[in-house]
Amino acid sequence: MGNTASGHLNWPGLIEAYRSYLPVSDSTPVVTLQEGNTPLIPAPAIAKRIGRGVRVLVKYDGLNPTGSFKDRGMTMAISKAKEAGAKAVICASTGNTSASAAAYARRGGMRAFVLIPDGYVALGKLAQALLYGAEVLAIQGNFDQALGIVREMASNYPVTLVNSVNPYRLEGQKTAAFELVDSLGDAPDWLCIPVGNAGNITAYWMGFCQYHQDRKCDRLPVMMGFQAAGASPLVTGEVVTHPETIATAIRIGNPASWEKAIAVQQASQGKFNSVTDAEILEAYRLLASEEGIFCEPASAASVAGLLKVKDQVPTGATVVCVLTGNGLKDPDTAIQHSNNQFKQGIEPTISAVATAMGLNE
């Protein structure tokens, strides 16, 4: 597979592409939207800010079918739920899991129940969950509370849990690491990744380790996890009871994969760092206005983090930043925090437009 033209045109979705690495059999009904095979795009403007021959690329997982990396895990979780005969799935979500669960569950002919923190889900994500036909339940609490509830629900009612505590989610998500190695010919030196519930950092590491064991790559990356300063339990070592950040996708105070993420950090000799909302927004604008890449605020945490610790990057290293979600998910933040403005109320004439353009001096 990888990045050949024919591989691209015939991409069958990640379960078929990486079948031998995934817990599926011939009797698994594959529910797919042809997720995966997302672009790995050079980011020269970011690299220039670091210098010293460092190469920076972004893995733009916001180009998955529902606009986030959650689709990688969801194709697996929903296929396995269907195989087991499930009629309904449930999840707690900061938004993207709900959109993805809704799309894949409906495609697989199942009901999707999603619990979201009332008032803290970006507009595009809510729109998706509704239109896909999820049964959306907004609770007056945060993500951590919602996750606690759905975990109980799944053990007491006939609904399958599809949060990343479902092991099939991580199995699907690890394929992003395979794609990086297939594209680069080896693992990157550093992987920079936003961390919320800590499933994705765990999944990437699983993928790199499996490929390394199979000698598909010679090295393993240093895993650099970045959290928002107002929701950084892995940095401080303490549960955050009231997490706060503009990056709602990582507004999580008690990550479900906490121990696994610490194990990844230690095994890879990586680090957890936090970035402020201001730093996240700076990277968000930089990615859009200098690289032409529109990601959501949580995703920009990986680039904000890289720039924050840029002096620690080894000279000449290859660094991949994971852009977990699409910028179109959260138009409110884009409009509120753009440094740009548009000119309104212009008369519909050539001279008025030319004047507005500054051409009629």
Ligand X SMILES: *Cc1c(COP(=O)(O)O)cnc(C)c1O
Binding mask 146-165 for ligand X (x = CB under 6 A): ------------------x-
Residue number, 199 or 305, with CB nearest to ligand X: 199
Q: DSSP readout, 216-251? A: S-S---EEEEEEEGGG-HHHHSS--SS---S-GGG-
| Longest distance between any two alpha carbons in the chain, whole Å | 72
- Rounded Cα gap, residues 82 and 78, in angstroms: 6
CB of 359 to ligand X, least distance (A): 41
Radius of gyration of the chain (CA): 21
Instruction: Assess 142 for contact with ligand X (CB under 6 A).
Output: no
Residue number, 117 or 196, with CB nearest to ligand X: 196
Size of the site for ligand X (CB under 6 A): 18
Residue least distant from ligand X (Cβ)? 325
* Region 191-250 residues binding ligand X, contact defined as CB under 6 A: 194-200, 249-250
CB of 195 to ligand X, least distance (A): 5
Residue number, 70 or 174, with CB nearest to ligand X: 70
Residues 6+ apart with CB under 8 A from 19: none
Stretch that binds ligand X, among 26-34, 109-117, 214-222, 291-299 (CB under 6 A): 291-299
Which residues partner with 40 through β-bridges? 59
Residues 6+ apart with CB under 8 A from 148: none
CB of 130 to ligand X, least distance (A): 18
Instruction: Assess 253 for contact with ligand X (CB under 6 A).
Output: no
Binding mask 308-327 for ligand X (x = CB under 6 A): ----------------xx--
Binder of ligand X out of 299, 303, 320, 330 (CB under 6 A):
299
* Region 175-194 residues binding ligand X, contact defined as CB under 6 A: 194
Binder of ligand X out of 162, 298, 319, 321 (CB under 6 A):
298
Binding mask 324-353 for ligand X (x = CB under 6 A): xx----------------------------
Residues 6+ apart with CB under 8 A from 235: 227, 272, 273, 274
Residue number, 13 or 194, with CB nearest to ligand X: 194
271-275 and 222-228: which strand pairing? parallel
Residues 6+ apart with CB under 8 A from 180: 40, 59, 187, 188, 191, 320
Instruction: Assess 96 for contact with ligand X (CB under 6 A).
Output: yes
Query: What are the two backbone dihedrals, phi and then psi, of residue 325, each rounded to the nearest 5 degrees?
Result: -145, 160
CA 105, chain centre distance (Å) = 19
Residue numbers at the binding site for ligand X (CB under 6 A): 68, 70, 96, 164, 194-200, 249-250, 296, 298-299, 324-325
